Structure 1
Amino acid sequence: MTEISAIAAELRDRAGKGAARATRREGKVPGVIYGAKQTPICIAIDPRVIWAELHKPGFKTRLFDVDLGAGGKHRCLARDVQFHPVNDQPIHIDLMRVSADAVVHVKVPVHVANADKSPGVKRGGVVTIELHEVEVTCAPDVIPAEIVIDLAGLDIGASVHVNQLNLPAGVTPYHVGAAATVVTIAPPTVQRADAGEAPAAG
């Protein structure tokens, strides 16, 4: 089940760059809720709320129930956050409205587990993540927070491909070939010097 986070926001009366600048002067981050064949809604969010959510895992794979007070609640996915080029503060957020029967495309982060149980890693092999994210299509309530690849038992030269991923029911890869490599265990790039080799004379 996809994690759902509740956040509060305010309605903004106007769209446009001038209105967005005015929102920032008030200490808020302007944003928009769009999608589901409904009229886009301009919103403002406390930047501390955005930072708190950004620092949790799976920002773009979690669902958000955005509470606009009298404007109702909207279930959304975070699609984009724009940051100031100098101070890295969030300056705009895009949220896509989703319905229970929708099908969404989401990029899910890839992580590896049990590297300590990999014979290849124990022999000096290098774990290389070729795809740090895999785009999938699924219903909103089954979006995986992450794709975990188990390295236990894998030796040097082993590869894990898209068609070998353990995805939940109803989740399928999108825009990526079944044979695409996700993770490999490559041979060591530098051979260790013999332990008994004497250092070169200075």
Structure 2
Amino acid sequence: MVNVLKATERTSDRRSQLRELREQGGIPAIIYGYKTDNTPISIDSGEFIKTMREVGRNGVISLDVEGKKLNVVLHEYQEDPIKKEVIHADFLAVDMSQEIEANVRVELSGDAEGVRDGGVLQQILHEVVVTAKPDEIPEAISVDISGLGIGETISIGEIRGNYSITINHEDDETIATILAPRVEAEEGTEPSEAESEETGAEEE
């Protein structure tokens, strides 16, 4: 079931009116894409947040613009750096039968052997670009790292077969690796010659 989000067309991009819209709990937005002219709209902030929680970052939304419904995905958004509130949103109208590109976050799962042995996990790729039909784009790609030992890596080529979507990265691109533990200085190590001379000078 596709979630419905109501929208209203707006006729002005004047700063004063955009500020007033936000103060009243709205978000200025725009629609473009499949069989759609660039159309400025406004949406309710609370309804937008509720919808995105339900469908996820890459979910398909039925955008109801004053009675006209369009299948859209959230393409981009702008956020206030201080309040952490969405202040503008771009919706891409999509043809459900045609593939599109989307950014999908990478989630690591499992307890890596190398970490248990003292290694340090380093995630290189936090997001991948995929191509798929709008309703087949996953919210996240899960990568099992439980078998990784110290000095080992997992790459795109090792997970590609787990998904029917196209992952637009080279096979040898590293997703995560286990680094060797840092060598700490042993306690009780003999002081260097320079340190011994400094200590002697201080005592004199």
TM bracket, shorter-chain basis = 0.7 to 0.9
Give 1:190 deviation, angstroms: 4.7
Q: Distance in 2 between matches of 1:40 and 1:121?
A: 50
Task: Output one character per residue of 1:49-80: Cα deviation in whole Å (capped at 9) or x when no partner.
Answer: 23335556841x2221222342x221111111
Give 1:48 deviation, angstroms: 1.5
Question: Given that residues 9 and 43 in structure 1 are in contact (C-alpha distance below 8 angstroms), is that contact kept between their aligned partners in structure 2?
Answer: no
Task: Look up the match of 2:145.
Answer: 151
Name the count of aligned residue pairs: 187
SS of match in other structure, 1:50: helix
Rg: which structure is higher?
Answer: 2
Task: Look up the match of 2:196.
Answer: none
Task: Look up the match of 2:199.
Answer: none
Q: Which has the higher contact order (CA 8 A, sep 6+)?
A: 1
Q: Distance in 2 between matches of 1:162 and 1:77?
A: 26
Q: Residue 108 of structure 1 aligns to which amino acid in structure 2?
A: V
Task: Look up the match of 1:66.
Answer: 63
Corresponding residue to 2:3 among 6, 29, 38: 6
Percent identity over paired residues: 26
Give 1:182 deviation, angstroms: 0.7
Change in 2 beyond 3 A, CA 1:48/1:139: same
Give 1:99 deviation, angstroms: 1.0
Structure-1-length-normalised TM-score: 0.80
Q: Which runs of 5+ in 1 are unaligned?
A: 198-202
Q: Which runs of 5+ in 2 are unaligned?
A: 189-204
Task: Look up the match of 1:200.
Answer: none
Change in 2 beyond 3 A, CA 1:192/1:96: farther
RMSD between aligned alpha carbons?
2.6
Change in 2 beyond 3 A, CA 1:110/1:57: farther
Corresponding residue to 2:45 among 44, 47, 50: 47
Q: Residue 181 of structure 1 aligns to which amino acid in structure 2?
A: T
Change in 2 beyond 3 A, CA 1:140/1:192: farther
